[in-house]
Structure 1
Amino acid sequence: MLRAHEITVRYGRRTVLDRVSFDLPPGQVVGLGGPSGCGKSTLARVLAMMLRPAGGALSVDGAQVRGWRQRAPRELRTRVALLYQQPRLAVDPKLRLREIIAEPLAAMGRPDESRVGALAAEVGLTGDLLTRRPHEVSDGQLQRACLARALTLDPGYLICDEMTTMLDASTQAYLVAVVNAYRDRTGAGVLAISHDEVLLDRWADTRAELTGAGSPPGMPSPSPAPL
């Protein structure tokens, strides 16, 4: 279980999250909706250990998180992967797609070309695309590379923060299918953050809402139809 308990985040005098508690169970897709500015992306960054909250606690499979960003223990940090809405802001523009996918392995000192190739194929990237840099591919192709990068170290929890917002319908459906297949294969928990109510209704097993800035999510409710 990825568990946030009474998380509070402030930016200056503004409280973005006020004692928010949230659970992401293994093996489930939990959809998180809510209006712009209500703190969905902030919560995602806290869950991924990228942002230290002003108050509250975070645990991963029962282990308390006591460090944030690079100070978080590697065994906890690599249990959670975050996929951003805008892939061009999430990559080094000088790297080729193959190098982007390989970044987590390089950081661990475990280069593995076969792993990179297998993940590229899984997300629908051909070999010629792997030699290109971000400015030479479409948003959809770059987001495929970012998804492959997020899956490289087999995270137990995958946070998808508006990952399909900028994509066409076919690419959106393909990436959701890849995430679902990963969840089915590994038992990972998936947090799907989106403004798209139709997508969340079809994709998520349960739903939660952040109804306003600083407010806690509503209780998850069953979602009737899988994607």
Structure 2
Amino acid sequence: MTVTTDDTVHGAAAGGLAAQRVTVAYGRQRVLDRVDLHIAPGETVGLRGPSGSGKSTLARVLALLHAPDSGHVTIDGRPVGGARHRLPVALRTRVAILFQSPRSATDPRLSLADLIAEPLRATGASRDQASARTADLADLVGLTPDLLARRPHAVSDGQLQRACLARALVHRPDYLLCDEATAMLDASTQAHVAAVVTDYQRRSSAGVLLITHDPALMSRWATRVVELPPP
């Protein structure tokens, strides 16, 4: 089944991040079948669907972490070929993703400061540049200097997710994909993460993909909602 929205073709031509007829299979199981989805600069697209419908897989494809079996991703109308480090730095850093489980997404050997700075160092930033950017983002997401010196096992899930959010914003992405990013957080941390993302979006006109099972968050945040069918 093809999942599409009325503005997919128009939006892709006008700019934005788009999946076009994306198909992904794991072995014999087809998870996504010719899916179309477009995220325009400045808008928040909600993505809903039952478990197993491919929401997280679609997010990883859009984040340029997983190459589809067929179809392609476009950024500002230009097809993207390949994934991960096969892509130029200037291209792959335009999209960032914030996962549901911060512990699965982080290296337990690194301090929170190093986790945040890791993408900058991987792309050639100097130690001073990485340190300054890390300090700014830590302040933005509400991490104190004593927390930055700790490793993941020594902080809460909420504190670790704040570090992951800072890491996601470190390259000032044009598109931020939130895959159940607040599901494991308490209400206070949920509100803070949502506020940081919303403020970043307002200042940068970033496009946001929101995957959540929280209907209140979806209705409050999403500009429009796309449904993925059952697997």
TM-score above 0.5: yes
Deviates more, 1:105-114 or 1:85-94: 105-114
Kindly indicate whether residue 74 of structure 2 is the aligned counterpart of residue 59 of structure 1: yes
Alignment-derived partner of residue 215 in structure 2: 197
Kindly indicate whether residue 66 of structure 2 is the aligned counterpart of residue 38 of structure 1: no
- Post-superposition shift, 1:169? 0.7
Instruction: Give a deviation string over 1:122-152, Cα, whole Å, max 9, x none.
Output: 0010111000000000000000000000000
- TM-score normalized with structure 1 length: 0.92
Instruction: Give a deviation string over 1:28-66, Cα, whole Å, max 9, x none.
Output: 111111111100000000001111111001111222101
CA distance in 2, matches of 1:165, 1:40: 15
Alignment-derived partner of residue 144 in structure 1: 162
SS in 2 for 1:145: helix
Deviates more, 1:130-139 or 1:67-76: 67-76
Do the aligned partners of 2:17 and 2:38 also contact (CA within 8 Å) in 1?
yes
Segments of 4+ moved more than 2 angstroms: none
- Post-superposition shift, 1:72? 1.7
- Post-superposition shift, 1:102? 0.3
CA distance in 2, matches of 1:115, 1:50: 24
SS in 2 for 1:208: strand
Structure 2 unmatched runs, 5+: 1-15
Residue among 71, 83, 90 paired with 2:105: 90
Structure 1 unmatched runs, 5+: 214-227
Residue among 176, 179, 193 paired with 1:158: 176
CA distance in 1, matches of 2:18, 2:221: 21
Alignment-derived partner of residue 220 in structure 1: none
Alignment of 1:1-227 (within 5 A): 1-111=16-126, 112=129, 113-213=131-231
Instruction: Give a deviation string over 1:1-53, Cα, whole Å, max 9, x none.
Output: 00110000000000000000000110011111111110000000000111111
Do the aligned partners of 2:63 and 2:97 also contact (CA within 8 Å) in 1?
yes
Do the aligned partners of 1:59 and 1:65 also contact (CA within 8 Å) in 2?
yes
Do the aligned partners of 2:89 and 2:123 also contact (CA within 8 Å) in 1?
no
